[in-house]
Chain A
Amino acid sequence: MEHILSLLVFFPAVAGLLGFLVAKESIRAYGISVSVIEFCLSLILWIGFDSANAGYQFVEYYAFIPSYGMSYYLGVDGISLFLVILSTFITMIALIGLSIEKDIKNLIISVLFLEMTMVGVFLILDVIWFYAFWELSLVPMLYIIGGWGGERRMYAAIKFFLYTFAGSVLMLVGILYMGFLYYEATGIWSFALPDWYLLQVPFKAQLWLFGAFFLGFAIKVPMFPFHTWLPYAHGQAPTIGSVILAAVLLKMGSYGFVRFSLPLFPDATVYFLIPVAIICIIMVIYAAMIAYAQEDMKQVIAYSSISHMGIVILGTFAMNAEGITGSIFLMLSHGIVSGALFMLVGVIYDRRHTKMIRDFGGLAQVMPNFATVYGIMLMASVGLPLTVGFVGEFLSLVGFYRISWILTLLAGTGIILGAVYMLVLYKKSFFGQVVHEENRSLKDLNAKELSALIPLVLLVAILGIYPKPLLSTIDMSVQKMLVLMDQKAIEPATKELIMKANSIGGTH
């Protein structure tokens, strides 16, 4: 158990390297086995995880470049634990459901490398390493989109790469400046996040640093107006790319807000709270409207991701345990649901080689199981209670209500608009008569697809009915972070807001 975190991070990469030696015929089985083992490892991590301990666990620390305070520093807490499990789970499911034959060996190796970077981002506590994993995650995804994508894959892949890269370069400047500030204050260099947490950054510097980090995270999430790479990436990426992109990669951005922006710069967070919230609301409404206007099924889901991520970020900025715990839970649930929805789009694309809604219609008659699974995911996506989607959405909105009721009301329109675009999509694709002859002979879900989708369906129900084990573990670490933020806050206004956001009753 001592080195389980290192094992989790590097096992997929090492296995991926060895994958070059595996024969092409057995690479699928190999990839799935590796991802299953990795998933089991992450479950072992959860079993060994002490949910009464809010701090970092299974910590591994080795000096890396001690003169500059860089170290190899791993640790897991309630905030990152389930994101790690989500990464390993989604990778496993995506590999199980993989239907591509072309160059499958290279694809699977890319996915395994991608898994390393994802797990790494969530587990690493040294900021330089964090940056390295963050940037490395772009490379496999660039290959996946560029190598196995649709017609305009090169444009989409390069746009994805350059856009997110540009954002993170600014973040790098922020990281170096923060390191320098730490050096100035203490006389020693350190890039260890727990060290940084203890530093009270001057207010002015907080504002600049918040901005630099914000850009990196906002492009990744993606927040309006930095979101336009996403529809292209999803439009061109193969199913497995879209699944991982939507389910995990976007969460790196929202995780960044929780892990960096809030605890490092509490005053700046409060200072920028309302502008960020307004961006979130624009995301929710604007993306929902665009989703409604789409003619391509995959684009509907892509834009719906932006809409949902708006609620995630809003919950993060609620500055209370309800909202932040909810937003982390919503990251998980969005990962499950959007992953499943992209997978479902892949199912129909494999059969019909089109994603246009007008080419479907009446699918419920020919593919009843497909329609059922799609319907369940749809309901989870619109946040029906007792599905996984409700818990996080409800908590995020509850949390932010304490900050501003009117902004929460506006964000809440997402539950209406979400129902509008999803139900209209469902009606056009699944209801009505079968109008296209090609659709009459479509086969329902096969064994491979079912084995990928059924676990997702089960999770949607189980976590919707009994989210408590996850929530209480997340909540523990979130409460600890809130205490830290309160202690570190320089401005009285910040302390006041955190106090207000976490108490019942009183004025509004």
Chain B
Amino acid sequence: MEKYLYTALFAPLVSSLFVALFASRPKMLFTGVIASILIAISMVSSFVLLIDVNTHGALHVNMMDWIVAGNLYIPFGFVVDEVSVIMMVTVTLVSTVVHIYSIGYMDHDKSFNRFFSYLSAFVFSMMILVMSDNFVGLFIGWEGVGLCSWLLIGFWYHKHSASWAANEAFIMNRIADLGMLMGLFLIYWNVGSLQYEEVFATLKDLDSVVVATIGIFLFIGAMGKSAQFPLHTWLADAMEGPTPVSALIHAATMVTAGVYLVIRCGELYSMIPDVGFAIASLGAFVALFAASMALVNNDLKRIIAYSTLSQLGYMFVAAGLGAYWIALFHLMTHAFFKSLLFLGAGNVMHAMHDELNIKKMGGLYGSMKATAILMSVASVALAGIYPLAGFFSKDKILEVAFNEGAYFLWFALFIGAGLTAFYSFRLVMLVFFGEKEYIKHGFHPHEAQPFVIYALLPLGLLAVIAGWFEHQFEGFTTRLLARYEIHISHGIEIVLIGATLCIAVGGIAFAIYKYQRGGFSKTWEEGFFYKLLSNQYYIPKVYELYIMRPFTMLSQFVWQKIDMKVVDFTVDSIARTIYKTGEKSRKMQSGNLSDMLRWMVVGMVVLLVLALFYRPMA
């Protein structure tokens, strides 16, 4: 089985390096095709491993040593167990679809080859992230996906906004990475190892404060990658990247790495329920907070980005409350329907010549039926309507919150479910139905190429059926992850499900009702709340004004005033003083006999005075 493991892991790397050879050449179709095939091979291997893990259990290999110094030993070791294999399957499946889709989407891009090289490099990094058997290995992937995200957000680097967003994403993630590194250091000095197995085995011997600190530090890392408040602003700006990138990196895989980390460290977090509850609370807050921003936004991709943010909040609620398999389940189903939603949005953008304002669309159903249907399916799944995938996973999270007695969190998620349904269908309505606004703006939309639509079908299918495998999924993953018992009586459970369904259906119905009649009146847009939401609670402005500008000004000050005017000036002054002293005292050596005699007398006097007053210590 090891050869499948290495194939799954390294096929994307081979793809990336091979395609990189042609990176600066003009478009060559075969680079996209070969990259897609290699990623598909990785996917097949992952599925083989899934079956193997199911029958034979986890697979663990130690490829080679990496860092060895002092007591520290870090190998390149990989583990394929119930958690990582689910991640591998999810990642490679979505990646394969995105690769094939990109052949169509990037068709006219002059950097077609370069794109595939980056995209495959991302898949490789993501595989390292999920397959590593130790924290530093995970950190390799963690930083690797960050690098690929930087490369891909800034893919159209001639655009100022794209390269700015790329830097923002990288730097914000670095802030969180520092927290994560601190967590790793703390683990090392308490356990003496960074291997998952040894760390989790030793945890129970550690002081609870240490464990809590480790948990907090690691979660800070997760907050960056999964764009949790207050490190969330980069995700919406990351939509500057090509849409397949948004689908793969900023919806399905990379941003869920933080959730994966918490799930992977489940044994750690279950020891510190208080920290877990804080994580869940932050998650519930983000679920509402992000959903509220999605309500008013008019940017097609940003709406979906906020939705991703909101759903990540849901996952953190489950993970924080100890329902790790449910978090993983929602992570998986979300990957399917959210990437589908993004890829559909990509079709719309192509049809509309990269126009993103949904107010300028409308009535696109007529010209792009397939995309409209796929996106509607994804939206229904996202809204959590029975029997689509989102229903099973999201509903479980609400049950968990209720089960823990965290009624406040449950209520937040409950409202969030309604908002999700509303904004999803606001988008569908404004894009595909209603008035054909695009005619006024002179667009001639067309459906995407057939193979692009076919490539999306697997995701569409999974968005529908993935939830039906809930029990198999639970049985499989809880071999490794902690079981989660729900003690709610059957009656209440039915009521809860009913209530959630109602609010979701209500949200959809309200959106359809409202936007069939032309939406909200203009006066809404003058209101305080609308402005607050459409400006993202003014948080990016606050960051700009109170962090970035002061930092720039302070840096200028430190350089020009402190370094040049104080430190360097002092050094030069010392040198100048020495030089001047020499210059001045040189006059003593004038060679004039009477001058010299006078100095001699001065010298004699000084020496005599010294001789008079100096008493050697007895």
Asked if A and B bind, the verdict is yes
User: Chain B: which residue is nearest A475 at the CB level?
Assistant: B69
A107 part of interface (Cβ distance < 8 Å):
no
- The number of chain B residues with a CB under 8 A from chain A is 56
User: In chain A, residues 400-431, which have Cβ atoms closer than 8 Å to a Cβ of chain B?
Assistant: 401-402, 405, 408-409, 412-413, 415-416, 419-420, 423-424, 427, 430-431
Q: A321-B69, A432-B163 are in contact. Are A504 and B191 (CB under 8 A)?
A: yes
User: Main SS of the interface on chain B?
Assistant: helix
User: Chain A: which residue is nearest B176 at the CB level?
Assistant: A416
- The number of chain A residues with a CB under 8 A from chain B is 69
Contact in complex: B554, A289 (CB < 8 Å) = yes
User: Chain A: which residue is nearest B189 at the CB level?
Assistant: A402
With a CB–CB cut-off of 8 A, which chain A residues contact B568? 228
With a CB–CB cut-off of 8 A, which chain B residues contact A225? 567, 570
Contact in complex: B191, A365 (CB < 8 Å) = no
Contact in complex: A415, B554 (CB < 8 Å) = no
A69 part of interface (Cβ distance < 8 Å):
no
Interface string of B465-502 (1 = CB under 8 A from A): 00000000000000000000000000000000000000
With a CB–CB cut-off of 8 A, which chain A residues contact B64? 466
B272 part of interface (Cβ distance < 8 Å):
no
A368 CA to B113 CA, complexed, in Å: 14
A412 CA to B174 CA, complexed, in Å: 10
Interface string of B55-79 (1 = CB under 8 A from A): 0000000001111111110000000
* Residue among B150, B170, B181, B182 facing the most chain A CB atoms (10 A cut-off): B181
With a CB–CB cut-off of 8 A, which chain B residues contact A139? none
User: Chain B: which residue is nearest A155 at the CB level?
Assistant: B572
Contact in complex: A384, B147 (CB < 8 Å) = yes
Interface string of A194-217 (1 = CB under 8 A from B): 000000000000000000000000
Contact in complex: A385, B139 (CB < 8 Å) = yes
With a CB–CB cut-off of 8 A, which chain B residues contact A475? 68-70
Contact in complex: B139, A228 (CB < 8 Å) = no
Contact in complex: A322, B72 (CB < 8 Å) = yes
With a CB–CB cut-off of 8 A, which chain B residues contact A468? 65-68
Contact in complex: B185, A398 (CB < 8 Å) = yes
B401 → chain A, closest Cβ, in Å? 33
A390 CA to B556 CA, complexed, in Å: 29
Q: A385-B143, A468-B66, A475-B70 are in contact. Are A416 and B178 (CB under 8 A)?
A: yes
Interface string of B129-156 (1 = CB under 8 A from A): 0000000100110011001001000100
B558 part of interface (Cβ distance < 8 Å):
yes
With a CB–CB cut-off of 8 A, which chain A residues contact B560? 293
With a CB–CB cut-off of 8 A, which chain A residues contact B188? 398, 401, 504
Contact in complex: A293, B163 (CB < 8 Å) = no
User: Chain B: which residue is nearest A382 at the CB level?
Assistant: B174
B552 part of interface (Cβ distance < 8 Å):
yes
A471 CA to B186 CA, complexed, in Å: 22
B555 part of interface (Cβ distance < 8 Å):
yes
A459 CA to B44 CA, complexed, in Å: 34
User: Chain B: which residue is nearest A399 at the CB level?
Assistant: B70
Contact in complex: B69, A412 (CB < 8 Å) = no
User: In chain A, residues 215-237, which have Cβ atoms closer than 8 Å to a Cβ of chain B?
Assistant: 224-225, 227-229
Contact in complex: B181, A416 (CB < 8 Å) = no
A140 part of interface (Cβ distance < 8 Å):
no
Contact in complex: A293, B190 (CB < 8 Å) = no
Could you count the A-B residue pairs with CB atoms below 8 Å apart for me: how many are there?
Answer: 161
With a CB–CB cut-off of 8 A, which chain B residues contact A401? 182, 185-186, 188-189
B24 part of interface (Cβ distance < 8 Å):
yes
Q: A395-B72, A432-B157, A466-B64 are in contact. Are A427 and B571 (CB under 8 A)?
A: no
User: In chain A, residues 154-180, which have Cβ atoms closer than 8 Å to a Cβ of chain B?
Assistant: 159, 162-163
A293 CA to B552 CA, complexed, in Å: 7
Contact of B69 among A227, A322, A368, A416 (CB under 8 A): A322
Contact of A471 among B68, B143, B144, B190 (CB under 8 A): B68
B167 part of interface (Cβ distance < 8 Å):
yes
Contact in complex: B174, A415 (CB < 8 Å) = yes
Contact in complex: B192, A289 (CB < 8 Å) = no
A292 part of interface (Cβ distance < 8 Å):
yes
Contact in complex: B171, A415 (CB < 8 Å) = no
A368 CA to B117 CA, complexed, in Å: 15
Contact in complex: B575, A326 (CB < 8 Å) = no
Interface string of A467-484 (1 = CB under 8 A from B): 110011011000100000
A159 CA to B139 CA, complexed, in Å: 43
User: Chain B: which residue is nearest A368 at the CB level?
Assistant: B24
Interface string of B188-221 (1 = CB under 8 A from A): 1111100000000000000000000000000000
A369 part of interface (Cβ distance < 8 Å):
yes
User: Chain A: which residue is nearest B178 at the CB level?
Assistant: A412
User: Main SS of the interface on chain A?
Assistant: helix
With a CB–CB cut-off of 8 A, which chain A residues contact B570? 225
Contact in complex: B157, A290 (CB < 8 Å) = no
* Residue among A229, A293, A379, A405 facing the most chain B CB atoms (10 A cut-off): A293
B100 → chain A, closest Cβ, in Å? 27
B563 part of interface (Cβ distance < 8 Å):
yes
Contact in complex: A413, B178 (CB < 8 Å) = yes
A294 part of interface (Cβ distance < 8 Å):
yes
A385 CA to B551 CA, complexed, in Å: 27
User: Chain B: which residue is nearest A299 at the CB level?
Assistant: B559
B177 part of interface (Cβ distance < 8 Å):
yes
A58 part of interface (Cβ distance < 8 Å):
no
A267 CA to B171 CA, complexed, in Å: 40
User: In chain B, residues 545-573, which have Cβ atoms closer than 8 Å to a Cβ of chain A?
Assistant: 551-552, 554-556, 558-560, 563, 567-568, 570-571
With a CB–CB cut-off of 8 A, which chain B residues contact A294? 559
Contact in complex: A289, B157 (CB < 8 Å) = no
Interface string of A4-47 (1 = CB under 8 A from B): 00000000000000000000000000000000000000000000
Q: A290-B559, A364-B157 are in contact. Are A416 and B174 (CB under 8 A)?
A: yes
Contact of B575 among A162, A368, A379, A385 (CB under 8 A): A162
Interface string of B18-36 (1 = CB under 8 A from A): 0000011000000000000
B302 → chain A, closest Cβ, in Å? 22
Contact in complex: A431, B163 (CB < 8 Å) = yes
Contact in complex: B178, A321 (CB < 8 Å) = no
User: In chain B, residues 340-356, which have Cβ atoms closer than 8 Å to a Cβ of chain A?
Assistant: none
Contact in complex: B163, A427 (CB < 8 Å) = yes
With a CB–CB cut-off of 8 A, which chain B residues contact A293? 552, 555-556, 558-560
A354 → chain B, closest Cβ, in Å? 20
Q: A385-B144, A416-B174, A467-B66 are in contact. Are A322 and B71 (CB under 8 A)?
A: yes
B160 part of interface (Cβ distance < 8 Å):
yes
With a CB–CB cut-off of 8 A, which chain A residues contact B166? 427
With a CB–CB cut-off of 8 A, which chain A residues contact B178? 409, 412-413, 415-416
A379 CA to B171 CA, complexed, in Å: 13
With a CB–CB cut-off of 8 A, which chain B residues contact A163? 571
B164 part of interface (Cβ distance < 8 Å):
yes
A368 → chain B, closest Cβ, in Å? 5
User: Chain A: which residue is nearest B569 at the CB level?
Assistant: A228
Contact in complex: B24, A409 (CB < 8 Å) = no
With a CB–CB cut-off of 8 A, which chain A residues contact B158? 362, 365, 431-433
B600 part of interface (Cβ distance < 8 Å):
no
User: Chain A: which residue is nearest B567 at the CB level?
Assistant: A225
With a CB–CB cut-off of 8 A, which chain A residues contact B551? 289, 292
With a CB–CB cut-off of 8 A, which chain A residues contact B170? 419, 423
13 additional A-B pairs beyond A423-B167, A468-B66, beta carbons within 8 Å, are A290-B555, A290-B563, A292-B555, A293-B552, A322-B71, A372-B23, A386-B140, A390-B143, A395-B67, A409-B178, A416-B171, A420-B171, A475-B69
A-B interface, 5 closest residue pairs, ranked by CB to CB distance from nearest: A321-B70, A504-B192, A401-B185, A431-B163, A322-B70
Residues of B with Cβ closer than 8 Å to A?
Answer: 23-24, 64-72, 136, 139-140, 143-144, 147, 150, 154, 157-158, 160, 163-164, 166-167, 170-171, 174-175, 177-178, 181-182, 184-186, 188-192, 551-552, 554-556, 558-560, 563, 567-568, 570-571, 575
22 pairs of residues in contact across A and B, judged by CB atoms under 8 Å: A228-B563, A228-B567, A286-B563, A289-B558, A290-B563, A293-B558, A322-B72, A325-B70, A326-B69, A382-B174, A385-B139, A397-B181, A398-B188, A412-B178, A415-B181, A430-B157, A431-B163, A465-B66, A466-B66, A468-B65, A468-B68, A474-B69
